[in-house]
Amino acid sequence: MSDIKKVVLAYSGGLDTSIILKWLQENYQCEVVTFTADLGQGEELEPARQKAAGLGIKEIYIEDLREEFARDFVFPMFRANTLYEGEYLLGTSIARPLIAKRLVEIANETQADAISHGATGKGNDQVRFELGAYALKPGIKVIAPWREWDLNSRESLLAYAEKHAIPVEKKKGKSPYSMDANLLHISYEGGILEDTWAEAEDDMWRWSVSPENAPDKATYIEIRFENGDPVAVDGVNMSPAQLLAHLNKIGGANGIGRLDLVENRYVGMKSRGCYETPGGTILLKAHRGIESITLDRETAHLKDDLMPRYASLVYNGYWWSPERLALQALIDQTQQYVSGDVRLKLYKGSVSVVGRRSDHSLFDLSIATFEDDRGAYNQKDAEGFIRLNALRMRIAANKGRKLK
Contact 161, 15 (CB under 8 A): yes
Is 2 one of the catalytic residues? no
Tell me the C-alpha distance between 332 and 92, whole Å.
23
Question: How many Cα atoms sit within 13 Å of 275 on the Cβ side?
Answer: 26
pLDDT at 255: 98
Tell me the C-alpha distance between 250 and 220, whole Å.
10
Least confident of 50-54, 174-178, 188-192, 391-395: 174-178
pLDDT at 375: 80
The angle, 0 to 180 degrees and rounded to 10, between the axes of the packed helices 125-136 and 96-110 is: 50
Which pLDDT tens digit goes with each residue over 306-349?
Answer: 999 999 999 999 999 999 999 999 999 999 999 999 999 999 99
Domain 6-163 in this protein, CATH class: alpha beta
pLDDT at 165: 86
- For the chain, what is the largest distance between any 2 Cα atoms, rounded to a whole number of angstroms? 86
In the set 38, 125, 180, 229, the catalytic residue is 125
Residue range(s) in the chain whose domain bears CATH number 3.40.50.620? 6-163
Which pLDDT tens digit goes with each residue over 199-252?
Answer: 999 999 999 999 999 999 999 999 999 999 999 999 999 999 999 999 999 999
pLDDT at 208: 97
365 or 194, higher pLDDT: 194
pLDDT at 1: 45
Question: How many Cα atoms sit within 13 Å of 239 on the Cβ side?
Answer: 11
Tell me the C-alpha distance between 78 and 284, whole Å.
7
In the set 175, 178, 292, 361, the catalytic residue is 178
Is the torsion defined by CA of 327, 338, 287, 125 positive or negative?
positive
Q: What percent of the chain has pLDDT over 90?
A: 84
Closest CA to 66 of 239, 257, 282: 239
Superfamily of domain 178-295+337-357: Argininosuccinate synthetase, chain A, domain 2 (3.90.1260.10)
Tell me the C-alpha distance between 330 and 72, whole Å.
16
In the set 38, 66, 93, 96, the catalytic residue is 96
Contact 146, 127 (CB under 8 A): no
Is 305 one of the catalytic residues? no
Residue range(s) in the chain whose domain bears CATH number 3.90.1260.10? 178-295+337-357
74-84 CB burial, b ≥16 within 10 A, e <16: bbbbbbbbbeb
Least confident of 41-55, 158-172, 287-301, 330-344: 158-172
Is 178 one of the catalytic residues? yes
